[in-house]
Amino acid sequence: MQLKNIQQISGQIELLTGLHIGAGNEEVHIGGIDNAVIKHPHTGQPYIPGSSLKGKMRSLLEWRAGLVGITKGKPVAIDDLEKLSEQQKPQAETIIKLFGMAGDTKNEKKAAEIGATRLAFWDCALNKEEWEKITPENSLYTEGKWENTIDRITGVTVNGGIRQIERVPAGVFFNFKLNIKVLTDKNGQNEDFLNTVLAGLKLLEFDSIGGSGSRGYGKIKFTDLQLNGDDLQSRFDAVEPFKVV
Burial code (b: 16+ CB inside 10 Å, e: under 16) for 203-233 equals bbbebbbbbbbeeebbbbebeebebeeeebe
Report the percentage of the chain scoring pLDDT > 70.
86
Query: In which band, very low, low, confident or very high, does the pLDDT at 189 lie, cut at 50, 70 and 90?
Result: very high
pTM of the predicted protein model: 0.86
Query: In which band, very low, low, confident or very high, does the pLDDT at 30 lie, cut at 50, 70 and 90?
Result: very low
Per-residue DSSP letter, 168: B
Query: In which band, very low, low, confident or very high, does the pLDDT at 113 lie, cut at 50, 70 and 90?
Result: confident
Q: What angle do CA 234, 11, 191 make, to 5 degrees?
A: 70
Q: Average pLDDT, stretch 84-93?
A: 92
Query: In which band, very low, low, confident or very high, does the pLDDT at 34 lie, cut at 50, 70 and 90?
Result: low
For residue 53, is pLDDT > 60?
A: yes
Question: Phi/psi at 35 (nearest 5 deg)?
Answer: -135, 100
Task: Note the pLDDT of residue 35.
Answer: 76
Task: Note the pLDDT of residue 192.
Answer: 94
Task: Note the pLDDT of residue 27.
Answer: 44
User: Which residues are CB-contacts of 179 (< 8 A; sequence separation ≥ 6)?
Assistant: 6, 7, 8, 9, 119, 120, 122
Task: Note the pLDDT of residue 91.
Answer: 95
Query: In which band, very low, low, confident or very high, does the pLDDT at 148 lie, cut at 50, 70 and 90?
Result: low
Q: How far apart are the first and last CA of the chain?
A: 23
| H, E, C per residue of 12-29 | EEEECCCECCECCCCCCC
pLDDT in tens, 130-143: 888 877 766 778 77
Task: Note the pLDDT of residue 31.
Answer: 44
Query: In which band, very low, low, confident or very high, does the pLDDT at 26 lie, cut at 50, 70 and 90?
Result: very low
Task: Note the pLDDT of residue 101.
Answer: 86
Task: Note the pLDDT of residue 244.
Answer: 81
Under a CB-based contact definition with an 8 Å cutoff, are residues 63 and 95 in contact?
Answer: no
Task: Note the pLDDT of residue 150.
Answer: 67
Q: Identity (one letter) of the amino acid at 206? A: F
pLDDT in tens, 67-80: 999 999 999 989 88
Query: In which band, very low, low, confident or very high, does the pLDDT at 109 lie, cut at 50, 70 and 90?
Result: confident
If we measure between CA atoms, which residue out of 212, 230, 211, 232 comes closest to residue 222?
Answer: 232
Q: Average pLDDT, stretch 170-177?
A: 95
Q: Identify which of 71-80, 82-91, 171-180 has the greatest average pLDDT.
A: 171-180
